[in-house]
A and B are shown apart, each in its own frame.
Chain A
């Protein structure tokens, strides 16, 4: 209790200190190019608002005949860095723990593990914009907190082909066309910093390819009306979950389709409803050499799907509710742990042989798992500089991968609340004082089959420049 009070007092002090900051010396790429404040495109950075979505759909262009780089100062360099120093306290219940520390033969017991301290996010280098009018790009080298980099996004886009906003083609590794984008999520904790609905996998399932929150490799057609009220997209993706090198299995593809329509609701704002559907196949077996999967040798493609409804509902300038639902299903093989073979020695038993070996016979009780999920995220936007966030997610198994599994095994309920306060709002940089709390409950997933509750409190500076 005392530490909580201290945390609260420290938070208030920092808010007061931050309130005095007015100067920033760094330059977010798009805001600097166009001279617009963060708030023009972001409900709260990094989450896009309707205008920001239109800007993105236009290929990072305002369509004002000043989008080509030739109109920029020659010193303009479209780069933004983002990093987040944080303090967080993590509490995980029912962690399997040796009865005698250090003794593997002393037996195990489930106990809560709590840890807290100062920490760091990874670093993102965002660079994007136009190479020429109607030729846009985005490259995002991203590191984890140990500075190990990978390419989160690498894409080129042909915009407004033949002068039509209905013809745009993107190629490379990119964010899927999710209206509620996980890449622009407003929360940062381990479990609250992703949308559980976008990543849910049943217990025992090893289909990593249906995660719509991850950036994917492929090609995307996108079209929209001039005012972006109507949007459609269709993408053909490699079933690799964005992993490069075709290591997860060649010759398997996934389609991702979206459509949405917005309506002018007068004083309430612009309301939008839509759908998404991911339908794909991915390898379940791998040829082996010396018992080890041969990269890219995936065979035995099996199907999976994720379909859902998306709604963005605004109730005036201050309050909105974002809704995403999902019905997911995986082939029975995925449910039995077949699928990912990107790293059979990664310590995850499900990834190891012989699960992905051709000829494996499924248990008689095996079934194709399916589930339903929903995400509800509400925002109260006090001003462009202060937003309160509340999210409720639930994932419920509809059919388990084994008939012997309890019906609620793996169900998830997650709550996230927080706020982001930007002490200044300019076109030069973004800075948010971020406070967040997440609580997540999983049914029967501990080592001994008990419910698992996890929570995390996070305080940090989220800034880009």
Chain B
């Protein structure tokens, strides 16, 4: 079992890395630089066999996105002032180049596919709608457009997606092991021992910009922000949600243990399309909440 001090240290290092990145990224692109970027061959995205073109996204961005994310992509659209965290998170500041939903390690840029998926999925419990009405080409264009706001995309490449081993068969032992991981890495400190977002740290959390933020409540039926499949859950705690207090646990949880944790987290959720087996096993085991130690 890892020590609390190690975990604290890991959190601090992640936070420091993100803050450092955000400070460097804050060196905004000038309008001229943005235009140069838009005219360069790099102003593209690649999702499967689709190539997105940043310039083609301009009318789409201005119709659908600019109200929140702003003309400059700084998250200061006209309605940003009305979005009050933690009930409504502030719109993403694309100039920072920091994104919650990634398949890549913490501190790295997301892949084009990550951004492409986020647009279609939306972000539950925020003002970001589910934009699955766009064509794939439009979404790919938007991904390229989003990238032109931050100098990070000029200086860095996207991170390498983490390796996710095949999902094993769920067993009662795995669910119990997942509960042990839940206690060991102290998920309960924020998410609460029953996953109700009422852990001792829950009320103190802020994001990197200092805005209050709530941990995810597993029990209220809402969807996790970065997807609700088992692989999505796996990615969330192994990559962390950059810009938020949710760190990457890739150094604390082995890949096999990560699947155990996914199975246990499913038992905390109310009945949905993904967790029938997990809930049945939890019932058979008579699982009690972890002890906050």
Give chain A's interface residues, CB within 8 Å of chain B: 34-37, 39-40, 50-51, 54, 62-66, 71, 226-228, 264-267, 269-270, 317-318, 383-384, 426-427
Contacts and interface: CB of A to CB of B under 8 A. Distances in A.
A434 to B, nearest CB: 20
Nearest to A65: B222
A65 B223 contact: yes
A226 B132 contact: yes
B9 interface: no
B63 A384 contact: yes
Interface string B39-80: 000000000000000001001101110111000000000110
Contacts of A40: 63-64, 67, 129
Contact of B82 (A35, A227, A267): A35
A50 B133 contact: yes
A384 B65 CA distance: 12
Contacts of A71: 87
Nearest to B68: A35
Interface string B77-100: 011001100011000000000000
Chain A binding surface, main DSSP class: loop
A427 B63 contact: no
Contact of B132 (A37, A39, A66, A227): A227
Nearest to A39: B63
Most buried by B among A37, A50, A227, A426: A37
Given A35-B82, A37-B78, A39-B62, 11 more contacts: A37-B67, A50-B133, A54-B133, A62-B122, A62-B130, A63-B129, A66-B125, A227-B132, A267-B135, A270-B133, A383-B62
Nearest to A268: B135
A39 B63 CA distance: 5
A37 B125 contact: no
B135 A35 contact: no
Nearest to A269: B135
Nearest to B57: A317
Interface residues of B, number: 34
Given A35-B67, A40-B63, A65 B131 contact: no
B275 to A, nearest CB: 14
13 contacts: A35-B67, A37-B67, A39-B63, A40-B129, A62-B122, A64-B125, A65-B222, A226-B132, A227-B132, A228-B133, A264-B135, A265-B135, A426-B67
B127 A34 contact: yes
A264 B127 contact: no
Most buried by A among B56, B67, B68, B128: B67
A51 B133 contact: yes
Interface in B125-180: 125-138
Contacts of B79: 35-36, 427
Given A35-B79, A384-B62, A63 B130 contact: yes
Nearest to B58: A317
Smallest CB-CB A-B distances: 6 pairs? A35-B79, A227-B132, A37-B67, A65-B222, A39-B63, A317-B59
B262 interface: no
A65 to B, nearest CB: 4
A35 B127 contact: yes
A50 B63 CA distance: 13
B134 to A, nearest CB: 8
Contacts of B82: 35
Contacts of B68: 35-36
Contacts of A267: 56, 135, 137
A186 to B, nearest CB: 16
Nearest to B78: A426
Contacts of A65: 124-125, 222-223
A267 B78 CA distance: 29
Most buried by A among B87, B122, B126, B132: B132
Given A34-B127, A383-B59, A384-B63, A64 B122 contact: yes
Most buried by A among B87, B127, B135, B222: B135
Contacts of A318: 59
Given A39-B64, A384-B62, A427-B67, A64 B132 contact: no
B233 interface: no
B219 to A, nearest CB: 13
B187 interface: no
A227 B125 CA distance: 19
A54 B62 CA distance: 20
Nearest to B66: A37
A64 B123 contact: yes
Contacts of A36: 64, 67-68, 79, 127, 129
Contacts of B138: 269
Contacts of B123: 64
A317 B131 CA distance: 16
A64 B126 contact: yes
A375 B87 CA distance: 46
Contacts of B88: 66
A426 B63 CA distance: 11
B150 to A, nearest CB: 23
A286 B131 CA distance: 52
A270 B78 CA distance: 28
Contacts of B83: 35
Contacts of A265: 135
B133 A427 contact: no
A265 B135 CA distance: 7
Nearest to A62: B129
A51 B131 contact: yes
Contacts of A64: 122-130
A317 B61 CA distance: 11
A50 B125 CA distance: 22
Contacts of B135: 264-267, 269-270
